Amino acid sequence: MGWHKRQHTALDEPKNPTTLADMIHEGLSVFCWCNRCGHNSTIDPVPLATALGSLFPVPELGGRMRCSLCQARDIATRPAWPSHGGGQIARHI
Ligand SMILES: [Zn+2]
């Protein structure tokens, strides 16, 4: 008792996830990917920041979204980095 671990598996929960404010500051769009049908698009973070608050974490946006194609709520969101070299993005899950 009395000793608590400060470091709990930080892989899934980064301390400082990218927020909408970061996206706007960097001039990035939000990339959304439907895990069900593969539909994807980029959206402007400005209206999102207005609706959800500028400190809303980008990875949690997916929980607020619904696919416009298949209506699934299984949406992944991340910053739409402009130059990714065309490589594939490794997935952890
Ligand atoms: Zn979909």
Residue with the larger pLDDT of the pair 81 and 35? 35
Ligand 1 centroid – CA 22 distance (Å): 27
Query: What mean pLDDT is reported for the chain?
Result: 84
What is the Å distance from ligand 1's center to 20 Cα?
23
- Sorted by where each starts, the structural domains of the chain and their CATH numbers stand as 27-80 (2.20.28)
CB 75 within 8 A of CB 65: yes
Give tens-digit pLDDT for 37-80: 999 999 999 999 999 999 999 999 999 999 999 999 999 999 99
29/82 Cα distance (integer angstroms): 9
Give me the pLDDT at residue 82, please.
73
3-state secondary structure of 47: helix
CA of 75 from ligand 1 middle (Å) equals 8
Compute, in angstroms, the gap from residue 77 CA to the centroid of ligand 1: 13
Is pTM beyond 0.85? Reply is no
CA 64 / ligand 1 centre spacing (Å): 14
Token pair 């980029």 in the structure block, residue: 42
Instruction: Give the 3-state secondary structure of 21-80.
Output: HHHHHHCCEEEEEECCCCCEEEECHHHHHHHHCCCCEHHHHHHHCCCCCCCCCCEEEEEE
